[in-house]
Structure 1
Amino acid sequence: MDNQMFCFQCEQALGGKGCVKFGVCGKSPEVAGLQDLLVHLLKGIGFYGQKVLQQGKTIDENTHKFVMDAIFATLTNVNFDPERFVEYIKKAYEIKEQLKKLAGDIESEIPEAAKYIPPDTKEEMLKDAKKVGVMADKNLDEDIRSLRELLIYALKGMGAYAHHAYILGKTDDTVNNFFYKALASVLDDNLTVDDLVKLNLELGQVNFKCMELLDSANTGAYGHPVPTEVLITKKKGPFIIVSGHDLKDLKELLEQTEGKGINIYTHCEMLPAHAYPELKKYPHLIGNYGGAWQDQQKEFDGIPGAILMTTNCIQKPRDSYKDRIFTTSIVGWPDIAHIEEVNGKKDFTPIIEKALELGGWQEDEEEKKILIGFGHNTVLGVADKIIEAVKSGKIRHFFLIGGCDGAKPGRNYYTEFAEKAPKDTVILTLACGKYRFNKKEFGTIGELPRLLDIGQCNDAYSAIKIAIALAEAFECDINELPLSLILSWYEQKAVCILLTLLSLGLKNIRLGPSLPAFISPNVLQVLVDNFNLKPISNAEADLAEILG
């Protein structure tokens, strides 16, 4: 199978099997190869890093930061710039050699990834990349490959969350050190299927700690989210749209645009920013523009404003807005202006000047707003009312309908499920999957809105905290709650969240719109047997089965 590339890490894998000529996400074979090579080097870093830790030595913060950032850069829709990956590869080799020196003499057999020395040129790197991709070892057991890739992809998702916590000053040794353990484990041919299943569930537990860390970082810096109405229509004047997940970038941009007559709109996963007190206090954080990430090419087409992409979800920019979109942090696209951090600060002058030059929208649209901000602090603050509503029969069931959104057919299921959920049920939602239905009217049950927007994907932590607290209040197991999880997945952050849910013992999760291509039939059966994980069918049938 001499393909130009092979990638099946995301939900839109071609034909449900894998992208082989060009990524559906827009990833070129060149970038795919460089990402494979970077992951190969990270496995070597994992090997030596694990040896260092086993010797009771410590690894410095800069190395931790590089590992989480480098693996995050290979996550779907983050970085498409081959030159940036060449630099990552060179830096990864330097770090591997430093860890090798720190580890000293190794008595055990050293795997090839730990011995690997990358060439100096991109062209030679690409030749090497063909030897280390997902399918490079054609004789590898299908289930071992499946579980190794599951671990790597979940690690990419955790890398995203660890990165966001780190830049806000929050770090944790358990989280940092697990990266080395997980990366080293995929090089260990002695590990069985059972061993790798346990490691994946361990990653789920570590990721729960990582999401807790990020929740603490966000709420510590910006306060606990509060219920907030957010404008979803346009206002007259110059503007900048901020997409991705990075609240720190948004805060810096808000500070630098204060008093300049520029409106700031969030986009996609940045929507929850409006609910944080330390961000919502800026009056020019005016509203949210557009829907989920996959609609950006259409929504950004020729707009008279500037766009800042932070940490996630970029698609190939159209020519009509290529001159007004900027990337920063981990995000990259060839020939797109990139804003670097210098001495811990970013200068957003180029994007500010572009927004003023373009002039913005010429008139106001009729106002429309949506309600967000139901994080764990808010929901648990009214837990007594929720418990009373359940006991009195006013609330029959809770549905968590959330996760990633995407362009693949079949996702209308989530809209239909929300619309058909009975009026005596409450819908919790999070991540960009909510854009399927978050602008619809669902009414209230007493004082409680039927649709509770918990936040973005890492706010799955909030949903879990709410579920655990309700289980304690009702003195029951979490699986005995009148709660069903209806999840959509697209990329690797969803993978690590799923492993977190499974590691906490949650069962009967419905997952769609399709099952991951990297999960082998035998591994899927393990998940079905142990957790009753099941694919979605159709909204009406699934509702009938859940509600009996």
Structure 2
Amino acid sequence: MFCYQCEQTAKGVGCDKYGVCGKGPDVAALQDLLTYAVRGLAVVAHAGRAVGVTDREVNRFTAEGLFSTLTNVNFDPARFESVLIPRAVELRERLKAAVAAAGGPARFDEPAANWTPDRLTPLAAQAEAFDIHRDHSADPNVKSVQHIVLFGLRGIAAYADHAAILGQEDDAVYAFMHKALAAVYDTSLDLGAWVGLALEAGATNLRTMELLDAANTGTYGHPVPTPVPLGPKAGKAILVSGHDLKDLRDLLEQTQGKGITIYTHGEMLPTHGYPELKKYPHFHGHYGTAWQNQQKEFAAFPGAILMTTNCIQKPTTYMDHIFTTGLVGWPGAAHVKNGDFGPVIDKALAMPGFAADADKGSVLTGFGRNAVLGVADKVIDGVRSGAIRHFFLVAGCDGAKPGRNYYTEFVEKVPADCVVLTLACGKFRFFDKQLGDIGGIPRLLDIGQCNDAYSAIQIATALAGAFGCGVNDLPLSMVLSWYEQKAVAILLTLLHLGVKNIRLGPSLPAFITPAVLDFLVQNYGIRPITTPDEDLAAILG
């Protein structure tokens, strides 16, 4: 195996024996084979669009297939072997017939569009010949940008899948996925063309996050500022981790009146701000902090745990009380089927739960764009009066590898006349810091989940409009952390929007060559983080 799609990759180069994330070489090979099969499907789908043929099942599966290869989503080889890879081939062959009938090509030259499994050989063994490095460009810089696009597509796929579950889709998103995946086989595309595709991926991700924002706010209301307890209540308990709001709402419905308290973990903290979720009286608080504590937190939790997306690291002995939904899967974890959370509820009732109440304080969440722009006049007045000197967006992914304490120290050292905006799971390095307020505006504003980068962009755009300047002219600096592929998609969105001078860490992606990095530095001012003191001094002058 060789995998370098996440920030924690071994030695900063790539995992070649076993994934730092816990992914084994068999799963790594199967994920690469699924990627290959989905690319073959995309070749046919892209050709089909030229003759007016689209297939919603193909569209949805393209997102689902790519989403399944995202870091920490699915480590269950049986799901790849028996469900996902065969489904990709089945849909491709069905689509071929429809394309040919509509006057499109009857044959395809690309090997991926014709590959079929050898029924006499286990898929895991076949998969070793299809790692993602073998059929990309021989030019290392072109290959680097091809992989930036591929990893960005995996992030886009995650957001597209979540949005589609709540009924929000745009065929243009799927069309770009198919075009970009099929472009791997176009040897006429040079580095400039691939850079263009990378920026187009950023534009597509912006649209996808807009769809997900509409899905979430249209279903559950716009978030409102809400204090969230950090201490537990005595009694039975279920912990919900991941990103999926629908799973959480369905669980809340099915646990009403059963004496079970529902807690959030990780990226689910912002769900407490949604009116249609916070109305449930047994939806109590948040449990857990940063990724480096995750193993201990899950092992010590005295109830059932529901995993809705990629928020688990190296599952071990506590798998008997973890349940997964949707595309999520690990060997040893039970999978919830057809939205029936009965097994999760039964497990929670059988476990001891918390013995006593504990007061561990609270944190504020729910500062989505509506909440922040609702006090925009105070924000603007604060800037003009000098009460607010600068805004920092300190946001992104958390991870277990050392180095992320930078973000804790950075926020602690931000001067008292500055405001920190945050989103995604990286905030758990500092989310409980008591920073006070400026004129009634909290100095630490939790905008939401990683996909709520859309809200942050809307806030920045509105402020730029109010001040009659561009986003790059605002007293706003972005200090971002990355871990997995949704972060790649968001970074491409920021580049598409022309945002400059982003500081990125804890380390730079291993899949970016020196030449590509130099392009990003020269054109966008991207730079690695250094130390909090040095970066604050450079930003504030």
Fold match by TM threshold 0.5: yes
1:459 aligns to 2:456 (yes or no): no
Alignment of 1:281-430 (within 5 A): 281-319=279-317, 321-341=318-338, 346-430=339-423
| One-letter code aligned to 1:51 | A
1:126 & 1:325 partners in 2: Cα distance? 26
**How far 1:139 sits from its partner (Å)?**
7.4
Deviations 1:373-432 (A, max 9, x none): 100011011111100100000000000001000111211111111011110000000000
Letter in 1 for 2:185: L
Instruction: Give the aligned partner of residue 258 of structure 1.
Output: 256
Match of 1:110 in 2: 109
Secondary structure of 1:525's partner? helix
**Residue 315 (structure 1) shift:** 2.6
What code does the residue aligned with 2:20 have? V
TM-score by length of structure 2 reads 0.97
2:11 corresponding residue in structure 1: 15
Name the counterpart of 2:73: 78
Q: Distance in 2 between matches of 1:313 and 1:330?
A: 13
Which deviates more from structure 2 when the two are superposed, residues 136-145 or residues 231-240? 136-145
Q: CA, structure 1 residues 94+300, in 2 after alignment: closer, same or farther (shift >3 Å)?
A: same
Distance 1:247 1:78 in 2: 16
Uncovered stretches (5+) of structure 2, i.e. residues with no partner:
none
CA deviation after TM superposition for structure 1 residue 16, in Å: 0.5
Which residue identity does 1:300 align to in structure 2?
F
In structure 2, do the counterparts of structure 1 residues 416 and 93 end up closer, same or farther at CA, with 3 Å as the change threshold? same
SS at match of 1:322: helix
Partner of 2:328, secondary structure, is coil
CA contact (8 A) 1:8 1:18 kept: yes
Match of 2:216 in 1: 218
CA contact (8 A) 2:36 2:132 kept: no
CA distance in 1, matches of 2:17, 2:80: 19
Gaps of 5+ in 1: none
- Counterpart in the other structure of 1:198: 196
Note the 1:26-65 alignment, pairs <5 A: 26-57=22-53, 59-65=54-60
Q: Which residue of 2 aligns with 1:93?
A: 89
Residues 165 and 294 of structure 1: is their aligned pair in 2 closer, same or farther, counting only changes over 3 Å? farther
What fraction of aligned residue pairs are identical, expressed as a percent? Answer: 58
The alpha carbon displacement at 1:138 in A equals: 8.9
> Following the alignment from structure 2 to structure 1, what is the Cα–Cα distance between the partners of residues 293 and 181?
34
1:202 Cα offset (Å):
0.3
Structure 2 equivalent of residue 440 of structure 1: 433
Deviation sequence 1:42-79 (CA, Å, 0-9, x none):
1111111110112232x222221111011001000000
Contact 2:252 2:262 (8 Å CA) reproduced: yes
Distance 1:543 1:302, change over 3 A: closer
Q: Distance in 1 between matches of 2:106 and 2:80?
A: 32
For residues 10 and 99 of structure 1, what CA distance do their matches in structure 2 show? 33
CA separation of 1:109 and 1:307: change in aligned 2, threshold 3 A: closer
In the TM superposition, what are the counterparts of 1:100-179 in structure 2 within 5 Å?
100-104=96-100, 105-106=104-105, 110-120=109-119, 123-137=121-135, 140-179=138-177
Which stretch shows the higher mean deviation, 44-53 or 129-138? 129-138
Q: Indicate the larger mover: 351-360 or 195-204.
A: 351-360
Does the Cα contact within 8 Å between 1:76 and 1:313 map onto a contact in 2?
no
Are 1:486 and 1:509, in contact at CA under 8 Å, matched by a contact in 2?
yes
* Separation in structure 1 between the aligned mates of residue 180 and residue 247 of structure 2, nearest angstrom: 30
Aligned 8 A contact 1:240 1:262 in 2: yes
SS at match of 2:521: helix
Q: Distance in 2 between matches of 1:529 and 1:244?
A: 36
Q: CA deviation at 1:263?
A: 0.2
**Partner AA of 1:305 in structure 2:** G
1:335 counterpart letter in structure 2:
G
Q: Deviations over 1:119-171 (max 9, x none)?
A: 236x5423332222133259711112111111110000011100110000111
**2:186 counterpart of 1:188:** yes
Check conservation: 2:38, 2:88, Cα contact below 8 A: yes
Taking the aligned partners of 2:457 and 2:492, their CA distance within structure 1 comes to 13
The Cα shift of 1:311 comes to 1.7
Is 1:521 the counterpart of 2:514? The answer is yes
* CA distance in structure 1 between the partners assigned to 2:503 and 2:118 by the alignment: 45
Runs of 4+ in 1 over 4 A off after TM superposition: none
Structure 1 CA distance, aligned partners of 2:389 and 2:137?
51
Q: What residue identity is the alignment partner of 2:79?
A: R
Look up the match of 1:24. 20
In structure 2, C-alpha distance between the alignment counterparts of 1:107 and 1:98, rounded to whole Å: 12
Q: How does the TM-score come out when normalised to structure 1?
A: 0.96
What is the number of residues matched between the two proteins?
A: 537
Counterpart CA distance in 2 for 1:501 and 1:302 is: 39
Pair 1:26–1:330, CA change in 2 (3 A): same
CA distance in 1, matches of 2:136, 2:205: 31
What is the distance in 2 between the residues matched to 1:466 and 1:302? 39
Is the contact between residue 230 and residue 359 of structure 2 (CA under 8 Å) also seen in structure 1?
Answer: no
Report if aligned partners of 2:136, 2:184 keep a CA contact under 8 Å in 1. Answer: no
SS of the equivalent of 1:546 reads: helix
DSSP 3-state at the match of 2:319: coil
SS at match of 2:129: coil
- Given that residues 244 and 308 in structure 2 are in contact (C-alpha distance below 8 angstroms), is that contact kept between their aligned partners in structure 1? yes
The answer for the alignment partner of 1:535 in structure 2 is: 528
Checking the alignment, whether the CA contact within 8 Å between 1:468 and 1:478 is kept in structure 2 is: yes
Could you list the per-position Cα deviations for residues 186-209 of structure 1 after superposition, in whole angstroms to 9, with x for gaps in the alignment?
Answer: 221111000000000001001101
One-letter code aligned to 1:207:
N
SS in 2 for 1:239: strand
- CA distance in structure 2 between the partners assigned to 1:303 and 1:173 by the alignment: 42
Q: Match for residue 209 of structure 1?
A: 207
| Separation of aligned partners in 2, 1:43 and 1:235 | 48
1:458, distance to aligned residue in structure 2 (A): 0.2
- State how far apart, in whole Å, the 1-side matches of 2:492 and 2:323 are: 33
Q: Distance in 2 between matches of 1:367 and 1:429?
A: 22
Q: Residues 136 and 146 of structure 2 are in contact (CA less than 8 Å); yes or no, is this contact kept in structure 1?
A: no
Structure 1 residue aligned with 2:272: 274
Structure 2 CA distance, aligned partners of 1:277 and 1:226? Answer: 7
Q: 1:293 to 1:177 in 2, by over 3 A?
A: farther
Provide the C-alpha distance between the structure 2 equivalents of 1:512 and 1:279, rounded to a whole number of angstroms: 33
